[in-house]
Amino acid sequence: MTLQFQNINKVLIANRGEIACRIIRACKKYGLISIAVYSKEDIESLHVSQADEAILLPGIGAAAYINAEEIVKVAKENMADVVIPGYGFLSENADFAAELAKCSIAFAGPDSFSIEQFGQKHLARKIAVASNVPIVPGTDLIEDENELIEACNSIGYPVILKATAGGGGMGLKVCCDDKETRANFAEVKSRGASLFKNAGVFVEKYITSGRHIEVQLFGNGLGDIVTFGERECSIQRRHQKVIEESPSSYVDQSLRAKLTSCAKRLAEQVKYKSAGTVEFLVDDENSEFYFLEMNTRLQVEHGISELVYNVDLVYFMLLQADYEISGPGSGIPLDILKENLILENGVEVPQGHAIEVRVYAENPVRDFAPCPGILHHVSIPSEGRYGHYMVRVDHWISTGGKVSPYFDPLLAKVMVWSPKRTSDNMIKVLRDIRIQGPVNNIEYCIRILESEEFRAGKTLTNFLDFFQFRPRLIEFIESGDYTTVQDLPGRNDVRHGVPRSGPVDSLSLQLANIAVGNNKEAECLEFTVRGAELKFHAAATIALAGGKFNATLNKITAIPFFTEIHVPAGSILDIGEAQGNAVKCYLAVKGGFPGVAEWLGSKSCTPGLKLGGHQGRTFLPGDCLEIAGSEVEKFGLGYQIPPSLIPNYDLYDNIIRVISGPHDTPDIASEAGLKQLYSTVYKINFNSNRGAVRLDGPAFQFSRRNGGDGGGHPSNILEYPYPSGGLSTVGSTLVLFGVDGGTLSGFTCLCVPSEVDFWKFGQAAIGSDIKFKLIEYWDAIELRKRREDYIKVISKRPETSTYSFDDEIDYQPVELLGKFLYKREATDSLPYVAFRQAGEGMILIDFSTEKYSLFNNGRQYILDNLVKKQLKSEILATESDTGAYSVCFDPLVVNRDVLLAKLVSLESGIPPVERLKVPSRVYRLPICFEHEALKRCIARYLHAQRPHASYLPSNVDYLMKANCIDSFDHFKKYIIGKPEVTVAVSFLCANPLFVNTDPRCRFATSKYNPSRTETPAGTIGSGSVCQSVYSVDSPGGYMIWGVTLPNWYWDTFCRIHKDPWPLEIFDQVVYYEVDEAELNRLNTQWLTGKIEFEAEETEFDFVQYKKFLDSIKDELVELTQRKEAAFGHLVEVEKQDLEKWHEEKQAVKAARAGAEKLLSGPNVIKINSTMPANVFKINFRKGSTISSGKPVVVLESMKMEIPLRVKDKKGSENTSYKVLEVLVDEGDVVSPGETLMIVERLE
């Protein structure tokens, strides 16, 4: 019978994690309003979004949840009727319960007296003696060490020292002799004082072959106590429970009667109320049992008692509080407490059997240390009946959630009820659970459940002391220079600012997988320059492929490449360093890495954006990866790819074959520039990575003077969808944008490498040569087909082969200047349009490269809808950007010319946009103009990159000057309430580009030079005709002037949005102003699921828009002229300032040029850069004395700070050093190996 609550409406849950979610579920079931509290680390935790209300607590980590004063304050302010504490934190804090009582707020738990009496274990022992409950031989509180030793010898070793206020397995130490006792005494006292504010310690006999069995009870405060059987919790590690079950396989009805009788007598002594648990130690040899302690709270493992005895303990706790509010002497009637129990001679009879497994984020190879991190994928079975068994999982986790280092790493409690005791059903459920991210203990628990000992019920408290477990993990002892997980084909069909990713050398990844017997596209580890050192905790089958690295096994055996290798458990594989011009290699492991989750269809990692792979980053020492393992336990060699099928990785003559387009046409590129491009030998610049390979060589020569609305430099162009791998002209620098590059660019792309040659520039070492060869489109397709044939041959794993790796063909003649695939000049009814080739699998369509028009975006939008409707089966992806539209396809499946004809036909059938309307959604979103994040961002740029510029220190002042704006209020009127149309959702992480519908309010502006290395998420900036929101922390060059919702524009794991990006083309955004505090509040409310920013469905009417433009035509001409004059002046100012800055840098470098050569000697040590980076901070100056281990220089690269220390094999931790010379300044760009500082060891 379920009773309605009479006095309770709002329930504050003073806890977090799975128990908070469990209580929220009960509140929803019984129609109660739940109030969650949370620390800032928990903002994305499930309990926060599931609760009806959520209140942020001050403080960090656990400190927030034990702040009794603050939680009482929150309860009062939010008119909570009752506070329910769960377990841990304040659940057994007598002062907290008493304070709530003073405020007339019910406490769903025992009274403060009961908590006090049972909370101190030495007092609880006295109550047990008074209740005729047997106790373990032991003492009262002991303060003197000699008295303690005497007591231990009297009791007999082994003994256990206990903090009297301890709990949860903390404040306990087992001692086997006097020496251990003396060593542990102070520690237990200290732990008790720090964790529980009570330094009291007592000692008990430690029973080695015992069982931990506890009785669940509930009291109504009137003297009535009801028990709900027992649970066995003997499988513990460091006194922390791992697996529990109810009933105990050891307990029969006779022993159950004795245990429950003792528990009742104990609770009756204090007229106990609410849920509680009495813990006993049962001797496995004679069934004698002893009282350990009473927990005056709900237990972690309460759920299995609920399953076996058909009871809802949380409901009873809230109902008991409801009765108490009615008046003194009220409690749940005894018949309601016993309603669902089946009794035999007055003792409850268990109905079936339940097991609970605690799933922790912990690493078995590191002694089960907590393993914080991001949960990249979570899949948990639904609660309910599965045939003959039932499943219940109490958890707080979801895909994208974070396991914090500040809390217990418990992720979930998996409970399975079966008619009879069996571990088989639990094993099935555990195997169905997928938690990918931090290492967890699921496989460990499965092995326990599969063991003969567990199946036989031989589960003593020392069970895990003798349990052998070999985790299927590889551990990173050293992580290498830049090690990531990559697979094929990456994310080439996603676009929307999601990089393609995948390997930079797809050929080598496939060869490694084929050698080991995997699917050729399976995930591998990609190593750059210096490989990792890996320990295999389980046997594995592996293969290496790619450039030559000096790899060894166990420091002795040289490891051949392109060969299947059986690695025994315990082996250490050291990949070593690259030995030639090819600087990437790939490690394939048979079965891949099952612990790495797919994200948007791929396991590939893009570290710069924290996407995919292992934790969205490169590997670090101590990281672990799950592997499938191998049955082969001995070292040995297996299949070897025949030498004739292996490519030449020396790459001394590194010629990249490229196809024309999209921007090598005569309207943009000059013939002289293209001749120079294809005759020059370029060098790989030091500042190259997976996102961009920068080339040292002459600047490209264009056929035009500027990029029109795209920018003042001829390399600038209106933003367009970018082909992966394209060769771009970024100002005066040529750049091959790599697999981690953006999907949008505002710089021209002259040509795109043939897919079969991507591996060549992916492998190229810094400083090596590279040259480009122009080939015809259909030759590139033929090369691709030949590569596919080669892969088919090698996939059969031939032992020998007459086939060889040879991808040269007879090339067709090709013209130097690029041609349009199709071009139509403007007519009276239709606009100009150009169809351009952009790599093997992209057709780019633009309606202008220099003059921006929102009408063109409308035409793109309509074309995109037609393409998706009529050509869906023929395309991989489409993308619309400010200046162009793209269609991606598989050229081995779809003929380009056939697709082109269909696209031309669709486009030509679109009527003039000026006569049309298109669907649109309007979002009204907050913006803050004066935000600390902006100030910090610009201050960091001034400090670390460029100390002065025409746009510094205020981008707003610069924009006001450039656009003839006379006041800050006038500036804000350009933004507030002005509709801005989304014309691109691209670049990096769906970075939206907006165009103000009123061209008078579009800013004339330049961009940062150099670009910022970091811009905070939510920052709004202006560049060319567009405004953009930085959807994630990322580099950037737009002039920044405001901050909007930092978490709304990109949702990596789709925790709130349907896709990672909420905006689509032609959505409109209208901003309203708020201050920083209000913006933070709104962002928090959105993150916690308490508010939504809903769109208003509407249409964008081009007919009315044209009328509006016609009405302001004359005014716009006059304003544009004034802006051009003002902006032109600032361009000249910036040119002079830039020259001045370069001169200053050169002067400093010249002054130091000879310092490195002059300083030498046996005690002189150079501190060198380890990567391309900016010098962010110099901690010591010339003449300073520094100690060993101190960071001397801090570099900044890829949004990471890298501290550099003195590396001195002859020094010790006590060695000191004197700084002889500092060769760089803060803000300098440095290359790998460049000397930054010279120090001298002081004898």
Helix (H, G, I), strand (E, B) or coil at 428: helix
pLDDT value of residue 1152 = 62
**Separation CA 217–CA 273 (nearest Å):** 9
- By C-alpha distance, which of 92, 77, 87, 97 is closest to 35? 77
Helix (H, G, I), strand (E, B) or coil at 201: strand
Architecture in CATH for domain 1153-1242: Beta Barrel (2.40)
Q: How distant is the alpha carbon of residue 363 from its chain centre? A: 18
Contact 674, 692 (CB under 8 A): no
3-state secondary structure 117-175: HHHCHHHHHHHHHHCCCCECCECCCCCCHHHHHHHHHHHCCCEEEEEEEEECCEEEEEE
Q: What pLDDT digit, counting tens, does each position of 858-890 carry? A: 999 999 999 999 999 999 999 999 999 999 999
- The CATH number assigned to the domain with range 10-108 reads 3.40.50.20
Peptide bond into 698 cis (omega under 30): no
- Lookup: tokens for 1165: 């040590």
Contact 824, 909 (CB under 8 A): no
Contact 585, 537 (CB under 8 A): no
Q: How distant is the alpha carbon of residue 602 from its chain centre? A: 15
- Please give the order of strands across the beta sheet that includes 1200-1204: 1200-1204, 1193-1197, 1173-1178, 1229-1230
**pLDDT at residue 355 is higher than 60:** yes
Contact 12, 83 (CB under 8 A): yes
**Separation CA 529–CA 597 (nearest Å):** 26
3-state secondary structure 689-724: CCCEEEEECCCCCECCCCCHHHCCCCCEEEEEECCC
* Angle (nearest 5°) at CA 662 between 658 and 668: 115
More confident site: 509 or 1163: 509
Q: What pLDDT digit, counting tens, does each position of 502-524 carry? A: 999 999 999 999 999 999 999 99
**Separation CA 1024–CA 1017 (nearest Å):** 20
The DSSP-derived string for 761-783 is: HHHBPTT-EEEEEEE-HHHHHHH
More confident site: 1229 or 444: 444
Q: Which value, to the nearest 10 degrees, does the dihedral of the CA atoms of residues 447, 452, 453, 456 take?
A: 130
Kindly tell me the sign of the dihedral angle through the C-alpha atoms of 191, 192, 195, 197.
negative
Within 540-654, strands assigned E span: 540-546, 552-553, 557-558, 563-567, 572-574, 584-589, 624-626, 636-640
Q: What pLDDT digit, counting tens, does each position of 386-408 carry? A: 999 999 999 999 999 999 999 99
Task: Indicate the fold that domain 655-914 takes in CATH.
Answer: Cyclophilin (2.40.100)
Contact 599, 414 (CB under 8 A): no
Which residue's entry shows tokens 């996407």? Answer: 611
Q: What pLDDT digit, counting tens, does each position of 454-466 carry? A: 999 999 999 998 8
**H or E segment and range at residue 631:** none
**What percent of the chain lies above the pLDDT cut of 90?**
82
**pLDDT at residue 166 is higher than 90:** no
Give the domain ranges of the chain: 10-108, 137-206, 208-349, 353-456, 473-491+514-637, 655-914, 916-1115, 1153-1242
pLDDT value of residue 329 = 86
Strands 822-824 and 1096-1101: unpaired
Spatial CB neighbours of 817, under 8 Å, sequence gap ≥ 6: 664, 665, 666, 669, 671, 674
pLDDT value of residue 807 = 84
Task: Indicate the fold that domain 916-1115 takes in CATH.
Answer: Cyclophilin (2.40.100)
Task: Indicate the fold that domain 137-206 takes in CATH.
Answer: Dna Ligase; domain 1 (3.30.1490)
Residues present in the chain in total? 1243
Single-letter residue type at 311: V
- By C-alpha distance, which of 1060, 1035, 1065, 1066 is closest to 1048? 1060
Contact 106, 83 (CB under 8 A): yes
Mean pLDDT, rounded, for 1139-1157? 74
Q: What pLDDT digit, counting tens, does each position of 1197-1232 carry? A: 655 678 888 988 788 888 999 999 898 888 777 776
**H or E segment and range at residue 894:** none
Mean pLDDT, rounded, for 656-684? 97
Spatial CB neighbours of 685, under 8 Å, sequence gap ≥ 6: 693, 694, 695, 696, 733, 766
CATH class held by domain 208-349: alpha beta
More confident site: 167 or 154: 154
SS3 content of the chain, % helix, strand, coil (to 5): 30, 30, 40
**pLDDT at residue 844 is higher than 70:** yes
Q: What pLDDT digit, counting tens, does each position of 239-295 carry? A: 889 999 999 999 999 999 999 999 999 999 999 999 999 999 999 988 999 999 999
Contact 1210, 1155 (CB under 8 A): no
> 998 vs 974, 975, 1010, 1104, CA distance in Å?
9, 10, 30, 13
Helix (H, G, I), strand (E, B) or coil at 735: strand
State the pTM of this model. 0.90
Spatial CB neighbours of 543, under 8 Å, sequence gap ≥ 6: 512, 513, 515, 516, 561, 562, 563, 564, 565, 587, 588
Q: What pLDDT digit, counting tens, does each position of 1024-1037 carry? A: 789 999 999 988 88
Q: What pLDDT digit, counting tens, does each position of 519-553 carry? A: 999 999 999 999 999 999 999 999 999 999 999 99
- By C-alpha distance, which of 770, 580, 576, 575 is closest to 688? 770
- By C-alpha distance, which of 830, 838, 835, 887 is closest to 859? 830
**Separation CA 540–CA 633 (nearest Å):** 8
Question: How many C-beta atoms lie closer than 10 Å to residue 146's C-beta?
Answer: 9
pLDDT value of residue 1125 = 95
Strands 377-379 and 473-478: unpaired
Q: Do domains 655-914 and 916-1115 have the same CATH topology?
A: yes
- By C-alpha distance, which of 282, 280, 128 is closest to 215? 280
Mean pLDDT, rounded, for 142-171? 88
Which residue's entry shows tokens 């040289």? Answer: 558
pLDDT value of residue 1162 = 82
Q: What pLDDT digit, counting tens, does each position of 571-595 carry? A: 999 999 999 889 999 999 999 999 9
**pLDDT at residue 85 is higher than 60:** yes
**pLDDT at residue 340 is higher than 70:** yes
Q: How distant is the alpha carbon of residue 144 from its chain centre? A: 50
pLDDT value of residue 1200 = 62
What phi and psi, each to the nearest 5 degrees, are found at residue 791? -65, -40
Q: How confident is the model at residue 1145 (pLDDT cuts 50, 70, 90)?
A: confident
- By C-alpha distance, which of 756, 552, 541, 764 is closest to 659? 756
> 1047 vs 19, 279, 437, 569, 1224, CA distance in Å?
27, 46, 22, 44, 37
- By C-alpha distance, which of 583, 564, 595 is closest to 504? 583
Mean pLDDT of the chain, nearest integer = 93
Q: How distant is the alpha carbon of residue 1033 from its chain centre? A: 13
Helix (H, G, I), strand (E, B) or coil at 402: strand
Spatial CB neighbours of 111, under 8 Å, sequence gap ≥ 6: 97, 221, 273
**pLDDT at residue 430 is higher than 60:** yes
Contact 1035, 1014 (CB under 8 A): yes
Which has the minimum average pLDDT: 43-47, 791-795, 1080-1084, 1163-1167?
1163-1167
Task: Indicate the fold that domain 473-491+514-637 takes in CATH.
Answer: Jelly Rolls (2.60.120)
Q: How distant is the alpha carbon of residue 910 from its chain centre? A: 43
DSSP assignment letter at 422: -
Task: Indicate the fold that domain 353-456 takes in CATH.
Answer: D-amino Acid Aminotransferase; Chain A, domain 1 (3.30.470)
DSSP assignment letter at 790: H
Which residue's entry shows tokens 């580099």? Answer: 1035
Q: What pLDDT digit, counting tens, does each position of 101-138 carry? A: 999 999 999 999 999 999 888 889 899 999 999 998 89
**What percent of the chain lies above the pLDDT cut of 70?**
98
**Separation CA 913–CA 1112 (nearest Å):** 20
Peptide bond into 953 cis (omega under 30): yes
Bridge partners of 546, per DSSP, are 585
pLDDT value of residue 1154 = 60
- By C-alpha distance, which of 337, 295, 333, 342 is closest to 312? 337
Q: Which value, to the nearest 10 degrees, does the dihedral of the CA atoms of residues 914, 915, 916, 921 take?
A: 50
Q: What pLDDT digit, counting tens, does each position of 967-1017 carry? A: 999 999 999 999 999 999 999 999 999 999 999 999 999 888 888 888 999
